[in-house]
Amino acid sequence: MDDALIAAAILTGPDAIICADRDGVITFWNASAQRVFGYTPAEAAGQSLDLIIPERLRARHWKGWQTVMATGQSRYGDGDLLSVPAVRKDGSTISVEFTIAPLFGVDDEMFGMAATLRDVTARFEETRELRRQLAART
């Protein structure tokens, strides 16, 4: 496949793609990440992932991150879909689903992580409302 086609898919595809180094510093942020989170690539690059992680979840996130960086292993491997809240530039909370992929260098040393994310807030809210309606009937 043509490298230009691959680059175009990554840069402009419908899903947010974010990469971070071993320290959790954002190194890549595509146009869809800007659409989802509100930060331009220039604003996000060089920032901590705390930029989009709700404050109440940061300690748990970083504990897991450090374990993955130390071991190269994640309990969320093989394309498992994760669902979590995230924070937008305007401070609003959204629901995202994402997958992660470790990034390895030529020396087989893990140098960071990539995440592919999608805003599923509308579906999450719809499901929550349906559950409320169902609970009210019983």
Nearest to 15 by CA among 38, 40, 34, 32: 32
Q: Name 105's Cβ contacts closer than 8 Å, sequence gap at least 6.
A: 111
Q: How many domains does the chain have?
A: 1
How many of the other CB atoms lie within 10 Å of CB of 21?
14
Distance CA 33, CA 17 (A): 6
The residue type at 47: Q
CATH of the domain at 10: 3.30.450.20
The residues, ordered by sequence, that sit 6+ positions from 18 with a Cβ below 8 Å of its Cβ are 26, 28, 29, 30, 33, 44, 49, 114, 115, 117
Q: What is the residue range of 113's domain?
A: 3-136
| Mean pLDDT by groups of 10 residues along the chain of 138 residues | 66 86 97 96 98 97 92 74 93 94 89 94 76 80
**Encoded tokens for 42:** 């220039």
